[in-house]
Structure formats: structure tokens, C-alpha cells
Chain A
Amino acid sequence: MPESHPNFEVPSQLEAEIDEVITHYPEKRSASLMVLHALQDHFGFLSKEAIEWAAQKLELQPINLYELVTFYPMFHEEPVGTYILKICRTLSCAVNGAHRLHHHVCERLGLDPNSHASQTTPDGRITVEYAECLASCGTAPVMMCNAAFYENVSNEKADDVIEECGNNGDTETENKEDV
């Protein structure tokens, strides 16, 4: 089950955004993914309370949303790192050094380079995980840091991205075509 989030409260601006998105669809249930995205973007993960709140908003049962959270890889039931590094592991990236990159990033952050599972640094700052094809095979290897996307990532470039995660207090990173 998803983790609990005491004192969960949706700020009025976020609620207004969510109400607007729901108007895009003839049936409220269709807005489920967009509502979950909005909540996760704000809170960092989808808690039991967030799912119940969304269910009420969409006039659904919590299970209708929980089954989405457990299916779609982008949703998290428990808190993850402030920064999520996703390293593409599919074929074109793999033959161009994706595993070398994952190994380097994990070693640098003190994580297990041989684990293919999602791992978070003990300070809760950075999560490293493999992702399936990110649709940029021509600039392999590629990785993402939250919403930002990085191409042709050498170990040095990865170090720069990690460095930036260490310096920014903010969860948002700027989109960069190429660091």
C-alpha cells in the first residue's frame, strides 16, 4: 500500500489547475493520469491521502487510481529522491555505454553499481534507476534528471549533472538539450 502522508493538503492553486484539467474530458475518469501527474509533481509521490483525494475529486473508488499508480512506471507510492536520475538501458543506449554510465553514477553516489533496481542515496537526495527507451537513440547514451533531458552523456557530463543536484535546493531543474 502507498505510504501515508500526514497533514496532506492540496493548495488552492493546485486544486484550481486540477479542476481545469478535468474539464478537458467528457468523462471525469479520463483525467486520472493528468490528476495523478499534477499531484505527484507537487508532492513528489502519491500517498494514500493523495490517492483518496483524487478519487473523491474524480468520483471514483481509490482502487481505480491505485491500480494506475501500481501499473505506470512513472508513479511512485513512496517518497523518492529529490532528484531522479533515469538512465536509458535499451539497446542503442546499451551498445553505446549505458551500463558504463550507470556503473559510474552509482559508484560516485555510493550506491551498488551491480544493482539494476531503483536506489536512493541515504540522504534522500538522489534516486538512480534504469529506464526503458527514452526515444533519443541517435544521441545515446541518454539520461534524465527529473524533467531535464541529457544526451551523449559521458562520465564527466554525468558528474556535472550530479554536481548541480548537490547545489540546487530546488526540485526543478532547467531543461537542457546538451550539457
Chain B
Amino acid sequence: MAQEYRLILQHADEPGYTNDIECYLRHGGYEGLKKALALEPKTLEDGSVKSGPEQIRDEVRTSGVRGRGGAGFPAARKWGFINHNSGKPIYLICNADESEPGTFKDRQIIYKDPHQMLEGTIIACYANNVHLAYIYIRGEFHEGAEILNRAIREAKEKNFIGKNIQGSGYDLELYLHRGAGAYICGEETGLLESLEGKRPYPRIKPPYFPAAYGLYMCPTIVNNVETLCCLKHVMLMGGAEYAKLGTPNNTGTRIVCVSGTVKRPGYYEVEVGKVTIRELIHDFAGGLPEGRSLQAVIPGGSSAKVFRAGEKFQIKKKAGDGQETVEMDLEDLPYDFDTVVEAGSMSGSGAVMVLDDSVDMIEAIANIAEFYAHESCGQCTPCREGSLWLKKALQRLAHGRGRKEDADYILRIADNIPNGRTICAFGEATAWPVQSTVRKFREVFEARGAEDEARRARETEGAGGVGKEMDVAASSQP
């Protein structure tokens, strides 16, 4: 039976473990930072000198850590885009906006082990010559904000933040910034606009990659809470040792959130790629309620493309020196970054939402569409209008006012939102769940639309034939 591997959450749920600095220090807290600050410049064979921060960046590259926020982009490569000689200050933002539906891992770290997150953030700041950093926390985490503010105060008192940290000569100021309920602030350029005091309209890339033109048009790094926590362990273990956890190109551990119709929803930290979707659902989350069967899995937060139970995928695997393609069932997919992408979706923010056969797929996707219609920032027409049309069409179908052609109608809208038509990936996030659900459950959508039409036809006859015009009007109302 698959086992958890708790690295980041090693202490979080232990009885008696509290979120104050004394408890953290008793458990080896800030040792990773001390090790980082103590790194002496190293002279290489060619006579060049590698500074401590450069050595940390090398360790992170060796560790292979990939971003835990959604895109799975290698952290060291993201850092590598920073120009250290631009003469501008470099900023770092810890993205604690946790807002992807299905995700509740950063909440565990913020509430139960805030100093681990601070330690990772400070290490990242030191490694990238950052002297001013912010934590952007979602507005609804009221208590989380209080916990983090206290943790920052404690860390300042112990000189882990502030001037001349631990006598190293390194200065860092770190502040907490609260959002106010907008999902788009999790998108890194939207976050930067929000942090500048504006509406969080994402910036167009290129040219506005945060690494080049970020906060106040200065080089900026935005890293997720969990990604930053990984750094503490990379520092303590060494990059090579860390890379032994997980699987090649999918290193380390990951906190996976399982929710929906399972018996034991929750968060489970596992080695990346060492557990399958079946093990996540059945071993960790206790399986489905009695008598139910699996209908669909949303593998990486609500933006991810939906998997239908029983789907088969052609997955490339290493075999000797070459590659072979094997057919895999949905539930046998290892839960890592690459395999889930190869299967046509993504592991995104590590949120697995499980839907059993008691859930009406049309209602489920209408629910997700309503989320995106509410959260679209309104900057780009295809997304602003498209997300609302999708919501209206899907709600109409969910409420018994569907039409036979709705499946095609919905797909026509959804297909015209993503693929470069919008400034940010919210367009994809809006379209992907709808496109995949309608295509994979097409017969459900068509049958529902046809049923609704037939029923309306009967009702019209019964009412003495009100006429066709009324029928059309009634069905086009959301």
C-alpha cells in the first residue's frame, strides 16, 4: 500500500507542534537558512569565484524542484531569468493567494508551520540578492494573516529578517500584503498589479515577464508557498540528495489535495510520481462512498482538463536506452508533472477532485463555469464574454432548459477562448474543463438537451400550443 512521505508536513500535524518560533527552533528550524548564509565563496578551477548565493542557485538547479503553484516550471530556471546586473532592485513575492478550486495545501503550511515558509522565502531572497520581499496572502485567510504577521515579528526579533541577518551582512525586509477576494491575483502578473495598488489585470507577456519587468518594472521572482518550503529541505539535504526523492524530472515531495466524493478527503504528501491516481483515491482518500463508482477525475485543480473514468492513455516510458509507449488506464497513471500532461491534462496545483456516478456532470461543469465567469478580470473580450456565455448555456442545460444543439454551441464558445486569444492563461483555465467535459461526456449533454426539448414540446401541446416563438424565448433565457 502506498505510503505518505512527509518532508514539508513532517511536523505540522504532530500533537503538541505549535506555530510559534520557539517550537520551530526546537525542531531544527532556520538551520537551512544558517547553512545558506554560512556558505563561503568558492574558487573554481578556472579561477572564477562562486558566491554563496550562486552556490544555492546551483543546489536548487541540481534538486530539480519544479514550481508547486500550477505550471510546474523548474524553480532554478525561473530564477535564471533574473538579470543580476541591471542596477535595479530585485524583488521576491511569496504567492500565498491559494485560490485554485480544489487546493488547500498552502493553508496547512501557513496555519501550522508558518516559519518553514518564512525560512524558505528568506533562503530564496538571499540566493537571488533580494532585499525587499512580500508575501501576498489571499484576503479570506484572516487568521493566516495574523499568524504570518506574528511569525514575521518573531523572526525579526531573532534576527532572521532585518539588518545584518545572523551577522552575515545580509539585509532583508519582508512584509505581508493581503488580497481582497480575487482569483486572478494568483496569476503572477495580476498579483504584481494588485501589489502595485491597481486592479489585478494580468500583463501581456512578452515583454512583461516578471523576471524582466516585474514589480515597479524591476526584476521580480514570484514563487508559491510550497515551492519555497522545498528550498529549506534542498539546503539541508543538498540538491543531489533531494533529487533522489520522487522520480526523474519530477523530484521531491508534493502535497496532494484530494476532495470531492471520497470517504477521507484531505491532503497527502507523497514522493512525486511514486503514487498513482488509484492509490490517491483509494488508499489515501478511502475510496468512494459505498455502492458508487468513479465517473470523473479533475487532476490538477478546476482549471485542469477533466478525465473520464475508464479512459486509456498512450504514455511514453523509458525502456533501456530507448522509449516505449504503454497503454495506461486513468487510475494507473502515476501522479507526477509529466505523465499527467502526457495524458492531456495537468497536475496543476496538486488538487485532485473526484466525482462519483452520483454527480451530475452537467451540474458539475456548470458549477466550474460559474466560478470562471465570476472571476474573469474582464480585460480580454473572449474570456470576459466567453466565460459568461458558457456559464449561461451550462446553467440553462443544468436547469432543464437545454437544447439538442447545446453541446456544439458550448464547444464553439469554449474553443474560441484559449490559444493565445487572451493576455493570460485564465482563458485556458476557463475553456479546458468545459471543452474536455463536453467532448468526453458528449452523449450526456446531447441526451439532456434532447430530453429538455421533447418535454417542452409536450408541455406546449398540453397548454394548447402556445407557439414556437415562446418556446425559443423560454429556452434562451438563462
Q: Which residues of A contact B (CB under 8 A)?
A: 24-27, 29-34, 36-37, 58, 60, 64, 67-68, 71-75, 86, 89-92, 94-96, 131-140, 144, 147, 149, 175
Check if B302 sits within 8 Å of A138, measured CB to CB. no
With A91-B368, A94-B367 known to touch, is A67 a contact of B199 (CB < 8 Å)?
yes
Q: Do residues B261 and A95 form an inter-chain contact, with CB atoms below 8 A?
A: yes
What's the Cα separation between A137 and B99 when bound, in Å? 11
Q: Are B138 and A135 in contact (CB under 8 A)?
A: yes
Quick one: given A24-B175, A73-B180, are A149 and B267 in contact (CB under 8 Å)? Answer: no
| Cβ-defined contact, B257 with A137, below 8 A | yes
A38 to chain B: closest residue by CB: B178
Question: How far apart sit A35 and B172, CA to CA, in the bound complex (Å)?
Answer: 23
B318 within 8 A of A: no
Min CB–CB distance B206 → chain A (angstroms) = 24
Inter-chain contacts of B143 with A (CB < 8 A): 147, 149, 175
Contacts of B353 in A (CB 8 A): 91-92, 137
Instruction: Please name all residues of chain B whose beta carbon is closer than 8 Å to the beta carbon of A36 when the two chains form the complex.
Output: 180
Contact of A135 with B261 in the complex, beta carbons under 8 Å = no
Among A37, A60, A96, A135, the residue within 8 A (CB) of B178 is: A37
CA distance A91 to B353 in the complex (A): 9
Q: Given the complex, which residues of A lie within 8 Å of B200, measured CB to CB?
A: 71
Given contacts A37-B139, A91-B364, contact A132 B257 (CB under 8 A): no
Complex formed: what's the CA distance from A165 to B140 in Å? Answer: 19
- Residues on B with C-beta less than 8 A from A29 are 196-198
- Whether A90 and B302, one on each chain, are in contact in the complex, defined by CB atoms closer than 8 angstroms, is yes
Per the bound structure, the CA–CA distance linking A135 and B141 in Å amounts to 9
Given contacts A36-B180, A92-B101, A95-B364, whether A136 and B197 have CB atoms under 8 Å apart is no
Contact B102 A71 (CB under 8 A): no
Known contacts A33-B194, A73-B181: does B99 contact A135 (CB below 8 Å)? yes
Contact among B107, B182, B370 with A136 in the assembled complex (CB-CB below 8 Å): B107
Residues of chain B within 8 A of A73, CB atoms compared: 180-182
User: What is the minimal beta-carbon distance from A83 to any residue of chain B, in angstroms?
Assistant: 14
Contact present for A27 and B182 (CB under 8 Å): no
* B330 interface residue (CB < 8 Å to A): no
| Alpha-carbon gap, A138 to B261, bound state (A) | 10
User: Contact at A34–B177, with CB atoms within 8 Å?
Assistant: yes
Chain A CB within 8 A of B260 CB: yes
Q: Is B104 an interface residue (CB 8 A)?
A: yes
- A140 partner residues in chain B, CB cutoff 8 A: 259, 265
B195 lies within 8 A of chain A by Cβ: yes
Which of A27, A94, A131, A135 makes the CB contact (< 8 A) with B104?
A135
Q: How many residues of B contact A (CB 8 A)?
A: 55
Instruction: Give A38 to B302 CA distance when docked, in angstroms.
Output: 32
B107–A135 CB distance below 8 A: yes
- Between-chain CB contacts (< 8 Å), 22 pairs: A26-B132, A27-B196, A27-B197, A34-B178, A71-B199, A74-B181, A75-B180, A89-B370, A90-B101, A90-B371, A91-B367, A92-B265, A94-B364, A95-B260, A133-B99, A134-B140, A135-B98, A135-B103, A135-B106, A137-B351, A138-B259, A138-B266
Chain B, residues 428-453, CB within 8 Å of chain A (1/0): the string is 00000000000000000000000000
Within 8 A of A (CB), among B169-222: 175, 177-183, 194-200, 216
Q: Is B374 on the interface with A (CB-CB < 8 A)?
A: yes
The residues of B that contact A135 with a CB separation of less than 8 Å are 98-99, 103-104, 106-107, 138, 140-141
**Which of A30, A58, A135 has the most chain B CB within a 10 Å cutoff?**
A135
Alpha-carbon distance between A68 and B179 when the two chains are bound, in angstroms: 11
**Are A175 and B142 interface neighbours, CB within 8 A?**
yes
Contacts of B180 in A (CB 8 A): 33, 36-37, 68, 72-75
**In the complex, residue of chain B having the shortest beta-carbon distance to the beta carbon of A86:** B140
Complex CA–CA separation, A10 to B333 (angstroms): 58
With A30-B196, A37-B180 known to touch, is A74 a contact of B139 (CB < 8 Å)?
Answer: yes
Q: Note all chain A residues with C-beta closer than 8 A to B103.
A: 135, 137
Inside 8 A of B154's CB, which chain A residues have their CB? Answer: none
**A136 CA to B143 CA in the complex, in Å?**
14
Q: Which residue of B lies closest to A27 (CB)?
A: B216
Taking the closest CB of chain A, its distance from the CB of B363, in whole angstroms, is 8
- Does B60 touch A at the CB level, under 8 Å? no
Could you tell me the distance between the alpha carbons of A73 and B181 in the complex, rounded to whole angstroms?
Answer: 5
- List 9 A-B pairs, minimum CB-CB distance, nearest first: A72-B180, A32-B197, A147-B142, A137-B259, A73-B181, A29-B197, A74-B181, A92-B259, A133-B101
Q: Which residues of A contact B260 (CB under 8 A)?
A: 91-92, 95, 137
- Find out whether the CB atom of B102 lies under 8 angstroms from the CB atom of A92: yes
Is the Cβ of A91 less than 8 Å from the Cβ of B302?
yes
Say yes or no: A133 contacts B371, CB within 8 Å: yes
Q: How far is the CB of A20 from chain B (nearest CB, A)?
A: 11
Measured CA separation A139–B170 after assembly (Å): 42
Task: Give chain B interface residues in 335-364, CB to chain A under 8 Å.
Answer: 351, 353, 355, 359, 363-364
In the assembled complex, how far is the CB of residue B32 from the closest CB belonging to chain A, in whole angstroms?
26
Q: What is the minimal beta-carbon distance from A36 to any residue of chain B, in angstroms?
A: 7
B146 to chain A, nearest CB (A): 8
Chain A minimum-CB-distance residue to B370: A89
How near does chain A come to B297, taking the closest CB pair, in angstroms? 12
B139/A132 in contact, CB under 8 A: no
Chain B residues, Cβ within 8 Å of A24: 175, 177
